Amino acid sequence: MYRRILGGLATAAAMAATVLVVTGSPANAAGTGTGYLHTSGNKIVDSTGATVRLTGINWFGMETDNKTFHGLWANNPWKSQLDLMANLGYNTIRVPFSDDALKPGAQATSVNTYSNPDLIGLSPLQILDKVVDYAGQKGMRIILDRHRPTSAGQTALWYTSGVPESTWISDWKSLAQHYAGNTTVIGADLHNEPHADGTNPNATGSCWGCGDESRDWRLAAERAGNAILSVQPNWLIFVEGVSCPSGGLSNVWDNDPSNDEDCGWWGGNLTKAGQYPVRLNVANRLVYSPHEYATSVYHQAWFDDPSYPANMPAIWDKYWGYLYKQNIAPIMVGEFGTTLASNTDKIWLQELMKYMGSGVNGMSFTYWSWNPNSGDTGGILKDDWATVDQAKQSIISPYLIPPTGGNPTPPVSPSASPSVSPSASPSASPSASPSVSPSASPSASPSASPSSPGGKTCTATYKVANQYPGGFQGEVTVKAGSSAISGWTVKWAFPNGQSISQLWNGTLSASGSNITVTNLAYNGALGAGASTTFGFNGSWSGTNGVPSPVSCTAS
C-alpha cells in the first residue's frame, strides 16, 4: 500500500563512525526457532532444522517524517507496547523504514519524553537498536522493510532520481553489517509494493520478467538480494510481488481493453514468479512476500463475485499461493488488514486466516498493523495505543504462535497523564495505501485563527498531511500565545463535505460539516509559545479544500 514509508541508510563507513553494532540477545525461543533461519522447500526452518512459523505484526512510522515508530508519542511506553505484542502472540515485527531515517544526522520526532525518557536524544537507528534488543530478549524476530526511498511517499520503482539503486543497495548492505551476528534481525524485505505506472504499451512501472533492467523488479531483487547476502549470508531475502506483470495499468485507466492483463494488489502479484524465479547466490534464503487487502483498502471485483467467499482460495492460489502449494518457496504475507467495518471484510479476514493454515506448518504472516493510525485498516491497538481491538484480535489469535524464552511483563495501562505536554504527535501519513494510483498532491495551505478569552490565546494551523483516492490525513498544530494555557478547543467547518473517521491526540465532536476538537488530559496545558499536534484520518470526494477559518479558544 502506498502508505508505507522508510528512510535510507548512510554508507557503511559513515554508520560505523556514528553507531555501535548491536549484538543483542539472540532469539532462541521455540516460537521463532534457534539461531538464523533458512528455507527448505516451502518451510522456514531454524539452525537445527526445526520448522518455524512467523506470525507477526507491522509497526510503522520509521518510514514517515517522524523517522521512528509511531505511538512513541503515547502515554503507553514503548517497552509496554512490545510486552503487549508478545503477550498477544505476535512473534515477529516487520519494521518499515525509509532511506531518510538512515541518513547521517536524521532525527526522530514525536517521542513522548515523559513515557519514553530512555529515548531522549536518540537517532532513528539507535531507537531501532533498542527495539531490536528488547524484542530479542522476548524471543521475537525482526524483519526490516525498506518501505519508501524517502518519507515523501511510495514509489512504483525501487529507485528515484534522488535515491538511485546504488543508494538502495548500499543502505541495505550497511544495515546487514550493522546487525551482523544479531539473530533477532532475520532478513530484508527489499522494497515495499513495487507496482505499475503508465498505461500499456507505454508502461513505466515495476514489471516481473519483462527483461528491462530499469523496470524488472525480479532482476532488481536479485541484484539487491545478492549484494546483501555477500555481506550477510545468513539473512532471509523477502521479495514482494508487483501489481501488473507488465508494469503498466489496465483499461481502468486508458479505456483500451486490447492490452489488459491480470493485475492485483500493489506488491501482491507473484503470478510470474514460477516462470521467472528470483535467483540468489546463497541457496535457501528466498521467501516470497505478497500483500493482500480487503474492501476498506480497495473494492476489488472479486468481492462482488456471487460465489464469494468460495472464490477466494482460487484467487490466492493464482497470485501467490501456488508457490507454497507446489513447494517452490515459503510464503510470508507481509501485509494484510482491514477496518472490519463491513461483513464482507470480516469474512475475508476469517477466510484468509484459514487459507494460510494453522499451526507451525502454516504460511507465515505479519498483520497490518499494530498502529491505530493506518487510515484504511486501523490497527490491533485502538487510539490510546494501549487498548486491543478485540474484534480483530479474536480472529487472528488462533493462528498466532507466541514467542517463548523471554520474560514478558504483563501489559500495563497507559501511564498517568504528565503534568507537561508530551513532545509527541503523528506528523505523517498512515503507512497504508491501496493498489490504485495516488492522487495529486494534497492541498496543504495552513489556516490559522486566534481567539483570546480572558487574555489567554492560541492559534490552530490546519494542513493536509497526505491524500490518496477517497481518503486523506489531516494535521492541526495548536500553539499557545504569549501566556500559558490549561486547555484548548479548535473548531472549523469542512467546505466540501469531508468527514473524519478517526482522530488521535484529541476528543472529537462532529455535527455535519462542523468539527470541534478539545484537548486530552495530557496535552491541554501548554506553556507560552508551546505547541501540540493532533491528527485525523478522513474521507473526501471531488474536492478536499482547506477549511477557513480554523479557530482556537484557550482556557
Active-site annotation, residues: 193, 335
> Which residues fall within 8 angstroms of residue 405, CB to CB, at 6 or more apart?
27, 28, 29, 30, 31, 138, 139
**β-strand partners of 526:** 485
Residue with cell 526445526: 50
| CB-neighbour burial class of residue 140 (10 A; exposed 0-12, middle 13-18, buried 19+) | buried
| Local structure of 144: helix, strand or coil | strand
User: Nearest to residue 55, comparing CAs of 336, 431, 295?
Assistant: 336
With beta carbons less than 8 A apart as the criterion, state whether 464 and 449 touch: no
Residue where the block lists cell 508551546: 530
Q: What is the 3-state secondary structure (H, E, C) of 37-95?
A: CEEECCEEECCCCCEECCEEEECCCECCCCCCCCCCCCCCCHHHHHHHHHHHCCCEEEE
- For residue 490, list its beta bridge partners: 517, 552
What residue has cell string 478536499?
544
Three-state SS for 134? helix
Cα–Cα distance, 403 to 78 (Å, whole number): 18
Q: Which CA distances in Å does 119 have to 79, 97, 179, 514?
A: 11, 18, 20, 38
Cα angle 142-243-353, degrees, rounded to a multiple of 5: 55
- Spatial separation of the C-alpha atoms in residues 285 and 148, rounded to whole Å: 23
Of 252, 346, 223, nearest in space to 296 by CA? 346
266: closest CA among 47, 545, 1?
1
Separation CA 404–CA 292 (nearest Å)? 28
Amino acid at 378: G
Cell 544479531, residue located? 182
Q: Are the C-beta atoms of residues 287 and 237 closer than 8 Å to each other?
A: yes
Q: Cα separation of 402 and 420, whole Å?
A: 37
| Residues 290, 319 contacting (CB under 8 angstroms) | yes
| DSSP string computed for 314-378 | HHHIIIIIHHHHTTSS-BEE-EEE----SHHHHHHHHHHHHHH-SSTTSPEEEES-S-TT-TTT-
Q: Please, are residues 16 and 22 in contact by the beta-carbon 8 Å criterion?
A: no
